[in-house]
Amino acid sequence: MCIRDSIKTGLIETLTFPDGSSYESAIRKKPVPMVKVHTLGAEGNDVGLKAHHGGVDKALFFMSDVSFDALNELLGENFDFHGSAIYGENFVVSGLHEDNVCIGDRYKIGTTLLEVSQPRKPCERLSHNTKNENTREVIRQSGWTGWYVRVIEEGEIHQGDELILQHRPYPEWKIRRLNTLLSAPSSNAELEEALAIEELAPAFKRSVNSQLRNLQQAACLLYTSPSPRDRG
């Protein structure tokens, strides 16, 4: 498991799209050989829409080379992770992906220690940047979202550095399972179990809690609805 030859950082710039729309974003990050990592991310890196991106719990964004291949097939694209960021990724890694990375995992990378905090919730800007209107929904439905980390120990990360697992408190809570919670949770109990995970970022917990309320309200309506016999 290692950082592929893809570490990326970027600052905010004004992007203009074929439909005439434009906005400020740092999604098109550029490859660099190494980064100095601090609590809020990496030197030379920024994010747009700070109400939804960045901060301690979303300090850095990881994707897998496996995710790139899967999304290329689903989207009918041929995106290459070696160049500028397609999905706003800071790192592309090999050997790790949504089916074997768990919430709360801690990885030693270079001289840093990073902790997996939540899956990425895709926004519409991904569709704009990829010039494919299906991108956001495909990522949401497929679960190839990537994941955010928080920085436990600051330091440096270089291309080719290995990711060494140090701690795995929730082996049953893989990134893909967390993504499924927001689309097809199996039960209220599963949602409540996720909410009890201390390491799960508060922003993601709000989405889980919203899903729980929806299920509870639906169950309440079903319970209180009159039966055909009562209506007769």
Answer whether 127's CB lies under 8 Å from 140's CB: no
What pLDDT sits at residue 230? 55
What pLDDT sits at residue 8? 96
Per-residue pLDDT in tens (0 to 9) along the chain, 232 residues = 666 558 999 999 898 877 788 888 889 999 999 999 999 999 999 876 666 677 999 999 999 999 999 999 999 999 999 999 999 999 999 999 999 999 999 999 999 999 999 999 998 889 988 999 999 999 999 999 999 999 999 999 999 999 999 999 999 999 999 999 988 888 999 999 999 999 999 999 999 999 999 888 877 765 555 555 555 5
Give the separation between CA 137 and CA 221, rounded to whole angstroms. 29
What pLDDT sits at residue 106? 98
What pLDDT sits at residue 2? 61
Give the separation between CA 209 and CA 181, rounded to whole angstroms. 10
Asked: is 2-169 a CATH 2.40.33.20 domain? The reply is yes
Domain ranges of the chain: 2-169
pLDDT in tens, 82-124: 999 999 999 999 999 999 999 999 999 999 999 999 999 998 8
What pLDDT sits at residue 75? 97
Give the separation between CA 53 and CA 88, rounded to whole angstroms. 11
Give the separation between CA 228 and CA 23, rounded to whole angstroms. 54
User: Which H, E and C letters describe the chain, residue by residue?
Assistant: CEEEEEEEECCCEEEECCCCCEEEECCCCEEECEEEEECCEECCCCCCCCCCCCCHHHCEEEEEHHHHHHHHHHHCCCCCCCCCCCCCCCEEEECCCCCCCECCCEEEECCEEEEEEEECCCCCHHHHHHCCCCHHHHHHHHCCCCEEEEEEECEEEECCCEEEEEECCCCCCEHHHHHHHCCCCCCHHHHHHHHCCCCCCHHHHHHHHHHHHHHHHHHHHHHHCCCHHHHC
